[in-house]
Structure 1
Amino acid sequence: MRVGTVREIKNHEYRVGLTPESACELVAHGHEVWVEKSAGLGIGAADSAYAAAGARIIDTAAEVFAGCEMIVKVKEPQAVERAMLREGQILYTYLHLAPDPEQTADLVKSGVTAIAYETVTGPGNSLPLLKPMSQVAGRMSVQAGATALEKAHGGRGVLLGGVPGVMPGKVAVIGGGVVGFNAAQMAVGLGADVTILDRNPDVLERLGIYFEARAKTRFSSTANLAETIAEADLVIGAVLIPGAAAPKLVTRDMLSTMKTGAVLVDVAIDQGGCFETSHPTTHDDPTFTVDGIVHYCVANMPGAVARTSTYALNNVTLPHALAIANLGWKQALADDPHLANGLNVHAGQITYEAVASELGYDYTSPQTVLG
């Protein structure tokens, strides 16, 4: 199979779908790899490294899209990229379709077979292709929040760890999954006063055992959530419903109860955000203020640490890319029900139920597609 990767064009997105090492692995399995010129520069991978791995360097993204059977990316295709997709082509990348009707409509119209990293499952309903970026984003959320709390960036002027004789900042983490756990680890490491909220008693027990007295856990009822964020200096939104839009847990009315200059970091912004007042921002202009509360809502946070993120992502996406290239998408998905859960769009049909429900499409199951 001819597999291609292109330079990401989303604002300040420096990751790349295939590292030179991944390209080498595909070539070793008998596949042809096309890489857009300069695609890997954001992670320090020169064209010569891809050429040494056996890949072919292509001048433009248009040529890669036109010539390859499978496109491997990182972020969802932008409008100009979606216009280059064609019927029967395989798109393998993050999609986050539920809050993005325009992208969904374009993918349906294109006839492409789109496999989304974020809905590929693993044992125990895990999300192994989302996990490494959730780990990165969770850790970055505290860095970003700590910076936004500085007075020069519009925040309260609070140092999360405090200093001797001065109380530390209070951090509320909404959601105890991969993002929330990693955010809590970072906040605890800085010496902050950390509270983690979740609705799953098993998650709360696991977090309580891990953090012991270093972080508090609290059941995420409406009243508990409202009380916790009113006291917080920094709130991390770390809620995920796989493939679906994130629930709006923090309403605009709640902002009036918060401290002026407190910070909200919405890690769920790729899925529409879990704060009512959120909207996507970029690394160029990462924050905005609503009712005195600073919002950080960058939709591709891991892109800022592109090298770490790209290699972590390729570690988990490459095995499935090899399976698709070796067997063809249909056989690969038929052989692996976890990979089949990644199928979101095929030949004009929506094949992920949460996306169909959210955006009003008829739902066609992957099993129907696979026959």
Structure 2
Amino acid sequence: MIIGVPKEIKNNEYRVGLVPSSVAELNAHGHKLVIEKNAGAEIGFADQDYIDAGAEICADARTVFEQAEMIIKVKEPQQQECAMLRPEQILFTYLHLAPDLNQTQALIKSGAVCIAYETVTDNNGQLPLLRPMSEVAGRMSIQAGAHALQKSNGGSGLLLAGVPGVAPANVVILGGGIVGSNAARMALGLGADVVILDKNINTLRRIDEQFCGRINTVYSSGESLKKYVVNADLVIGAVLIPGAAAPKLVSRKLIKQMKKGSAVVDVAIDQGGCFATSHATTHQDPTYIVDGIVHYCVANMPGDVALTAAQALNNVTLPYILKLADLGYRQALKQDKHLLNGLNICAGKVTIKEVAKAHGLNFSDPQQLI
């Protein structure tokens, strides 16, 4: 199979779909790799590194799209990339379609086979291709929040850890999944007081055991959410409903009741965000202020630690890419029900219920399309 990797064009996105070691592995399986010029240059992977791994370098993205049978990316395709896709061409990347009707319509129009990293599952009911980026984003969320709390950035001027004689910050994390537990690890390590809210008692038990009782675990209800958010210095939005838009847990009214100079970091912004006042920002202009509260809502947080993130992503995506390339998408999806769960759009049809529901579109059974 001919596999193509274009350079990412989303604002300040420096990750790359395949690192040279992954290219070498695919090449060893007999596949041809075409890589756009300078696709990995921003994180230290020169074109020569890809050539040495067995790839061909293309002058531009259009050449990559024209030659490749499967496109490997990191972030969702931008409109000019959607326009270059063709029927039966495989697109394997993060999509986050539920809050993005324009992208959904463009991919339907393309006729391409669109498989999303974030909805591929495993035998434990987890999302293995989302996990490493959730780990990265969870850890970054505390760094971003600490920065947002600095007075020069519109925050209250509070140091997360405090100092002897001065209390540390109160960090409230909404959701105890991969993002939430990684955020908690960082916040606790910095010396903050940490509370995690979640509706799943087993999740709260796991957090309690994992951190030996050093983190307060609270069952999430309307009353508890209000109590802890209003008194927080930093709130991390870490909720996820696989494939669906994030629930708006924190209303505009509740934001208004927070302490002025507090901060929120919406890690769920890729799926539309869990704060009513959230809208996507970029690394170039990451924050804004609503009702005195600093909002950090960067939609590709791991892109700012692109070398770590690209390597971590390749560690988990490579086996699936190999399966798709070795078997072809039809056979690969028939053999692997978890990979089939990643199929979001195929032959102009929406094949994931959450996306169809979010946009009022018809759902098509993926089994019938492959």
Question: Which TM-score band (shorter chain)?
Answer: over 0.9
CA contact (8 A) 2:208 2:214 kept: no
In the alignment, what sits opposite 2:80? 80
Matched residue, 1:320: 320
- Give the CA RMSD over aligned residues: 0.6
Equivalence for 2:224: 224
Is 56-65 or 360-369 further displaced after alignment? 360-369
Q: Distance in 2 between matches of 1:328 and 1:275?
A: 41
Does 2:22 correspond to 1:22?
A: yes
Q: Which residue of 2 aligns with 1:257?
A: 257
Task: Give the Cα–Cα distance (whole angstroms) in 1 for the partners of residues 14 and 207 of structure 2.
Answer: 33
Q: 1:247 matched to which residue of 2?
A: 247
Distance (Å, rounded) in 2 between the aligned partners of 1:365 and 1:341? 11
**How many residues matched?**
370
**Kept after mapping to 2: 8 A contact 1:353/1:365:** no
How many angstroms apart in 2 are the aligned matches of 1:251 and 1:235? 13
CA distance in structure 1 between the partners assigned to 2:255 and 2:131 by the alignment: 30
How far off its partner does 1:175 sit? 0.1
Deviation at 1:272, TM superposition (A): 0.2
**Per-residue deviation, 1:212:** 2.4
3-state SS, counterpart of residue 194 of structure 1: strand
Alignment correspondent of 1:47: 47
**Shift of residue 255 of structure 1?**
1.3
Cα distance between partner residues in 1 of 2:124 and 2:38: 39
CA distance in 2, matches of 1:220, 1:2: 48
| Equivalent position amino acid for 2:109 in 1 | K
* Contact persistence 2:237–2:264 (CA under 8 A): yes
- Match of 1:235, SS state, is strand
Contact kept in structure 2, 1:128 and 1:316, CA below 8 Å = yes
Partner of 2:308: 308
Aligned to 1:152: 152
Separation in structure 1 between the aligned mates of residue 241 and residue 255 of structure 2, nearest angstrom: 24
Instruction: Please give the alpha-carbon distance, in whole angstroms, between the structure 2 residues aligned to 1:135 and 1:349.
Output: 32
Residue 196 of structure 1 corresponds to 196
Q: SS in structure 2 opposite 1:71?
A: strand
Q: Does the 8 Å CA contact 1:170/1:233 hold for their aligned counterparts?
A: yes
1:87-236 aligned at under 5 Å gives the runs: 87-236=87-236
State percent identity of aligned pairs: 61
Which runs of at least 4 in structure 1 moved beyond 6 Å after TM superposition?
A: none
What are the ranges of 5 or more consecutive residues in structure 1 without an aligned counterpart?
none
User: After the TM superposition, which of the residue ranges 99-108 and 358-367 deviates more from structure 2?
Assistant: 358-367
**Cα distance between partner residues in 1 of 2:126 and 2:42:** 29
**Offset at residue 242 of structure 1 (A):** 0.2
* Superimposed CA distance per residue, residues 220-257 of structure 1 (whole angstroms, 9 cap, x where no aligned partner): 10100000011100000000000000000000000121
In 2, Cα distance between equivalents of 1:44 and 1:225: 44
- What is the TM-score of this pair, normalised by structure 2? 0.99
> Please, which runs of 5 or more residues in structure 2 have no aligned partner?
none
